[in-house]
Chains A and B, each alone.
Chain A
Amino acid sequence: MPRLARSEWYDLTRDMNWTLSYVKEEEAWPAELSDGFGLPAEAWWAWDEPYKVTYPEYVHNQYGKDASVYAVNAVVGRSRMYERLDPGWKSAILAHYGVIAVPEYLASLGESRMGRFGRAAAWRNMATFGALDELRHGQIQTYFPYGLLPQEPRADWAHKALHTNEWGVIAARSLFDDMFTANDAVSMAVQLTFTFETGFTNLQFLGMAADAMKVGDVDFGALISSIQTDEARHSQQGEPTIGLLVEHGRADVAQRLVDHMFWRSWRLFALLTGLSMDYYTPLEHRGRSFAEFMREWICKQFLDQFRDFGLEKPWYWDEHFLPELDWYHHALQLGIWYWRPTVWWNPDAGVAPEEREWLERKYPGWNDTFGGYWDVVAANLRAGRPEATLPETFPMICHLCHIPVVAPAGYLAGRLASPRPYVLDRNGRRYVFCSAPCRWVFEQAPRRFQGHTTLIDRFLGGQVQPPTMEGALAYMGLSPEETGQDATGYAWAHAAPHGRTGPRD
C-alpha cells in the first residue's frame, strides 16, 4: 500500500478554493442554487467534514460492500423466502420501495447540486461521493424489487411510483422536492443531510435492518444496513454547514431550516415507519413501539445534536410534536386502511386481539379510542358488509404535507382541542393545513408552496376525470389489480372478540 497516511496528503485534495476574477460570485453561486445567507465567500472555505475518505478508499470499500449485498440477493433470489414472508411485512417493504427507491436516486441530484454549488471544495468532494452513494441506493433498491416482479407485480411501484399521482407519492414528491431536488445547496445540507438523514433515516435504517433480520428477510436486512453505512458518512455534510452558519451569526437561518424540515420529515416518517413498526411488522418480531423508538432514538439524539450547536428545540416540540407521538400514526393507520384502494400495497390492519393487547400496553387508552373505530370496522366485516368499510368520498388534504387531515381522529381521541383544520386565507385563496406547524412552514416560505395544488384541488378543478372514485384511482395510476386490499383477507376481524359495537346502519 502507498506509504503516506491519508492525513499527510488529504488537505491537498480539498483546498481548491479561489477568488473568482472573470465572473461574479453571484453568477457562479446564484442564490436560487446556493443561498450563502450573507456569509462572505471565504468564510465557507473553513468548511471541514468530520468524516474523511479518499477516492481509493471509497472504491475499495464500496466494491466490497456491493459484492456482499448482491451476493446475499443472489442466494435469496433462488430461494422461496419472499413468498414465506408475513403479509404485513411484505406491505412494509413494498411501501418502502415505492416511496424510497427512486427518491434515493433523486437525492443524487441533490448531492450533485452540493457538489457543484457547495461553497467549499471539501464540501463539493464529499457531495461527489454522496452523489455516487445515492446513485447506488437508487440502483440497489430497484434491483432487489425487480427480482420480485415475477412473483409480486406490486414491486413495479419501486420504479413506477414517482411517475404517478398517487396521493402518497404526491406527498413524498412534495417533501423530497422541497428537501433536495428543488432546494439550494446550503439549505439542502442543513435539511437533507442534517435534519432528514442524521435525524431520521440513519436511525430508521438501523431499526428496519434489525426488524428485517428478526422477520427473516435477510435480503432486505442486508440491503438496508449496507445503505446505512453510506448514509452515516455523507449525512455529515450538514454539521459543518450549520456550524459555519452559527459561527457567522446566522443561527436564525439554521434554526428555521431545521424546524421546517424536521416537521415535514416527521410527517412522512409517521406515515411510513409508524405504520410499519406498530401495525405491519409481525407481532412476535416487534420490539419497541414506534413512539418508544421515536423518544429513545430520534428525539434524544436530535436534541443532543441540535443543542451542541447552541440552537433551540423547534418551537412546536412540546405543544405539537411530542403529543402526536401517541396518536398521529394511529389516525393515519385508520385512514390508510379505510382508503386502502388508494395505495399500492396491502394495508395490514394489525388489530387482531393479541395485537390490540400489545397496542394497549404500548399506548394506554388505545382500546378506548382507536380501538373503538376498529370495533365498528370488524363488526361490519363479520356481518358480511365489507362495502361499509370502503371509501366513497375523499378526505381533506393538507396544503403543505399533502397527507390527509386526521385532526378529527386526534380530537376524538382527546388529544386535540379542536377537530378543525388550520386555515390560511392569502391572496384570495384559502389554504387548509393539518396542523399548526404545517401552516407555519407554509408561512415561512410561501413562494415555495403558494401556487401548488393538492389532489383535492385537482379533483375539484376538473383535472380528475371522471370525478369519481374510479376516476381518481386511474388518475393516481392504480389499476384495479394494484389497488390495496386488506393484507390478511380480514382474518383479523374474524379473530376478534364479538360484540363491542354492532355493525354500522
Chain B
Amino acid sequence: MTNASGGRGRRTWSRFGDVRRRPTPYEVVTGGFHYHFRRDPVPFEMDPEWTLNKWYLAHREGSPFQVADWEDFRDPAALTYRDYVALQHDREVYLDALVDRHEESGSAAALDPGWVDTLRTLFVPLRFPLHVLQMTALYVGQMAPSSYITNCAHFQAADELRRIQRIAYWTRVLADAHGEDLARTATARGAWEDGPAWQPLRRALENLLIAYDWGEAFTALNLAVKPALDVLVDEVFGHLAEANGDGFLTELCTEFGRDARRSREWTRALTGYAVEREPALTGVLDGWVATWRPRADRAVEALADLFTTAPRPLTPTEVTTRVHDTHDAFLAAAHGR
C-alpha cells in the first residue's frame, strides 16, 4: 500500500524488528518504551556525571540481575492500563456491593468487643506497612530495565493503594461503631512506631526502602517481604476474621488475595524468564532471598503474637507455619524447582 508520504505502510513498529507473529494490542502499547536502558554513553541526555545518570548506571545497569534482553518478558496477565482499570473497576463494584451489604446489616456494630480490640492492634495499623510496599513497588517500576516490567510494578503499587484504602474505609466504619480512637492517626502510627510486635516488620521495611539495587529491590519485595505479608494479611488474618465471625473482613481479605496472586504470577514469570536465560542468576536470587526472607520471617513471628489475642485465637505456630509453608511453595515455584 502506498500513501501520502510516498512510502509503504507498516505492519508494526519498526523497533519490533521483522516479526513473524503480529504483535498483540498489549505488546503494541507496552514494549520498547525504555529508550534509556543501556543507552550509550549514559541513560539520560544530561551530563554523564549527573547524579541520576550515575544512580541508574549503578543500580540498574550495574545490578547483578541482568540478562541480555529483557524485552521478551511478558506479564502473564498481559495488562494494559485500559485492561487494568477495567478489571479493577469490576472488582471495586464488587467491593462496593460488599460494603453496602454490611453497612445495611450493621455488621460492624455487632462485632464482639474482644475482636474489635484485636482489630485495633492488628488490623488498624496495617496501612503503614502496606504503604511501604506501595512505595517500593514504585521504586522497582522506575528502575526496571523494560517497560514490560515497569508496568507490572506500577499496577502492583496501585493494588497496594487499593488495599490501604479499603482498610482505611473500614477503619472509619469501625470507629463510628466502636470508638473514635480507632480512626486516630496516633492509634495506627503509635503501634507502627512503638508497638513491639510491629518493630521487626518496620525494621525490614525501612531497610527495604534503601535496597536500591533494582534486582535486590524486586527480589526483597516480591520474593521475600510481600509474599509473606500477603499471606499473613490476606490469608491468615482473613482466616482469623472468619473464625471470629467477621464476615466482611473475611471476604475483603479474599478479594485482596486476587491482587496478591497476580503479583506472585508476574514475579514467578520474571524470575523464570531471567533464570532460563542466565542460570547463574539462581544464585543471585537465592543470595538476596537468604538475606531478606529471615527478616520477613522475624516480622511474621512478632506479629503472630497479636493473633493470640483474638476471642477465637490462632497460636503463633499456626500463623507462622501457614505463612512459611505458603511462602515456601511460592519460592519453589518461582525458582522453577
CA distance A58 to B89 in the complex (A): 9
Whether B36 pairs with A128 at a CB distance below 8 angstroms is no
User: B288-306 interface mask toward A, CB cutoff 8 Å, 1 = contact, 0 = none?
Assistant: 0000000000000000000
A138, closest chain B residue (CB): B33
Neighbour of A55 across the interface among B8, B12, B30, B165, CB < 8 A: B165
Which residue of A55, A181, A450 has the most chain B CB atoms within 10 A of its CB atom? A55
CA distance A129 to B84 in the complex (A): 13
User: A127-170 interface mask toward B, CB cutoff 8 Å, 1 = contact, 0 = none?
Assistant: 11101100110111011001001111111100110110000001
Neighbour of B99 across the interface among A2, A112, A113, A159, CB < 8 A: A2
Q: Known: A12-B172, A132-B81, A151-B1. Contact between A105 and B96, CB under 8 A? A: no
CA distance A488 to B25 in the complex (A): 34
Neighbour of B29 across the interface among A15, A139, A346, CB < 8 A: A139
In the assembled complex, which residues on chain A have CB atoms less than 8 Å from the CB atom of B55? 32-33
Q: Does B88 lie at the interface of the complex (its beta carbon under 8 Å from any beta carbon of A)?
A: yes
Whether A151 pairs with B49 at a CB distance below 8 angstroms is no
Neighbour of A22 across the interface among B11, B134, B154, B202, CB < 8 A: B202
In the assembled complex, which residues on chain B have CB atoms less than 8 Å from the CB atom of A448? 46-47, 50
In the assembled complex, which residues on chain B have CB atoms less than 8 Å from the CB atom of A3? 103
What secondary structure prevails in chain A residues at the interface with B?
Answer: helix
In the assembled complex, which residues on chain A have CB atoms less than 8 Å from the CB atom of B44? 173, 177, 181-182
B103, closest chain A residue (CB): A3
Whether B206 pairs with A28 at a CB distance below 8 angstroms is yes
Whether B142 pairs with A182 at a CB distance below 8 angstroms is no
Neighbour of A62 across the interface among B43, B85, B95, CB < 8 A: B85
Q: Does B257 lie at the interface of the complex (its beta carbon under 8 Å from any beta carbon of A)?
A: no
Whether A32 pairs with B52 at a CB distance below 8 angstroms is yes
CA distance A70 to B173 in the complex (A): 38
CA distance A32 to B56 in the complex (A): 12
CA distance A22 to B204 in the complex (A): 9
Whether A153 pairs with B9 at a CB distance below 8 angstroms is yes
Whether B12 pairs with A149 at a CB distance below 8 angstroms is yes
User: B126-146 interface mask toward A, CB cutoff 8 Å, 1 = contact, 0 = none?
Assistant: 011001001110110110000
CA distance A165 to B25 in the complex (A): 27
In the assembled complex, which residues on chain A have CB atoms less than 8 Å from the CB atom of B11? 149-150
Q: Does B329 lie at the interface of the complex (its beta carbon under 8 Å from any beta carbon of A)?
A: no
Whether A146 pairs with B28 at a CB distance below 8 angstroms is yes
In the assembled complex, which residues on chain B have CB atoms less than 8 Å from the CB atom of A102? 33, 35
Q: Which of B109-117, B185-193, B224-232 lies at the interface?
A: B185-193
Q: Does A183 lie at the interface of the complex (its beta carbon under 8 Å from any beta carbon of B)?
A: yes
In the assembled complex, which residues on chain A have CB atoms less than 8 Å from the CB atom of B88? 59
Q: In the assembled complex, how far is the CB of residue A246 from the closest CB belonging to chain B, in whole angstroms?
A: 25
Q: Does B45 lie at the interface of the complex (its beta carbon under 8 Å from any beta carbon of A)?
A: yes
Q: Does B183 lie at the interface of the complex (its beta carbon under 8 Å from any beta carbon of A)?
A: yes
Q: Does B333 lie at the interface of the complex (its beta carbon under 8 Å from any beta carbon of A)?
A: no
Total interface residues on B, CB under 8 Å, equals 86
Neighbour of A131 across the interface among B29, B33, B157, CB < 8 A: B157
Whether B138 pairs with A70 at a CB distance below 8 angstroms is no
A57, closest chain B residue (CB): B92
Q: Does A451 lie at the interface of the complex (its beta carbon under 8 Å from any beta carbon of B)?
A: yes
List B28-62 residues whose CB lies under 8 Å from chain A. Answer: 28-30, 32-33, 35-36, 43-53, 55
A150, closest chain B residue (CB): B9
Q: Does A20 lie at the interface of the complex (its beta carbon under 8 Å from any beta carbon of B)?
A: yes
Q: In the assembled complex, how far is the CB of residue A376 from the closest CB belonging to chain B, in whole angstroms?
A: 27
In the assembled complex, which residues on chain B have CB atoms less than 8 Å from the CB atom of A106? 33
Q: In the assembled complex, how far is the CB of residue B181 from the closest CB belonging to chain A, in whole angstroms?
A: 13
In the assembled complex, which residues on chain B have CB atoms less than 8 Å from the CB atom of A10? 168
Q: Does A90 lie at the interface of the complex (its beta carbon under 8 Å from any beta carbon of B)?
A: yes
Chain A-chain B contacts (Cβ-Cβ < 8 Å), number:
259
CA distance A131 to B29 in the complex (A): 16
Q: In the assembled complex, how far is the CB of residue A142 from the closest CB belonging to chain B, in whole angstroms?
A: 5
Whether A135 pairs with B81 at a CB distance below 8 angstroms is yes
Neighbour of B13 across the interface among A116, A132, A159, A182, CB < 8 A: A159
Q: Does A87 lie at the interface of the complex (its beta carbon under 8 Å from any beta carbon of B)?
A: yes
Neighbour of A451 across the interface among B49, B80, B89, B138, CB < 8 A: B49
In the assembled complex, which residues on chain A have CB atoms less than 8 Å from the CB atom of B10? 149-150, 153, 155-156
Q: Known: A112-B138, A452-B45. Contact between A56 and B30, CB under 8 A? A: no
CA distance A163 to B49 in the complex (A): 21
A153, closest chain B residue (CB): B7
User: B1-24 interface mask toward A, CB cutoff 8 Å, 1 = contact, 0 = none?
Assistant: 101111111111111000000000
CA distance A115 to B150 in the complex (A): 14
In the assembled complex, which residues on chain A have CB atoms less than 8 Å from the CB atom of B3? 83, 151-153
B144, closest chain A residue (CB): A109
Q: Does B151 lie at the interface of the complex (its beta carbon under 8 Å from any beta carbon of A)?
A: yes
Whether A156 pairs with B14 at a CB distance below 8 angstroms is yes
User: B155-184 interface mask toward A, CB cutoff 8 Å, 1 = contact, 0 = none?
Assistant: 001100110110011011100000000010
Neighbour of B206 across the interface among A17, A23, A149, A183, CB < 8 A: A23
User: A444-464 interface mask toward B, CB cutoff 8 Å, 1 = contact, 0 = none?
Assistant: 000111111000000000000
In the assembled complex, which residues on chain B have CB atoms less than 8 Å from the CB atom of A33? 52, 55
Which residue of A125, A142, A159, A162 has the most chain B CB atoms within 10 A of its CB atom? A159
10 A–B contacts, CB within 8 A, in A order? A4-B173, A12-B185, A55-B165, A60-B93, A109-B142, A131-B158, A159-B13, A184-B52, A448-B50, A449-B46
Closest 7 CB pairs of A and B: A182-B52, A32-B51, A63-B89, A12-B168, A9-B172, A150-B9, A173-B45
- Residues of B whose CB lies within 8 Å of any CB of A are 1, 3-15, 25, 28-30, 32-33, 35-36, 43-53, 55, 80-82, 84-86, 88-89, 92-93, 95-96, 99-100, 103, 127-128, 131, 134-136, 138-139, 141-142, 147, 150-151, 154, 157-158, 161-162, 164-165, 168-169, 171-173, 183, 185, 188-189, 192-193, 202-203, 206-207, 209-210
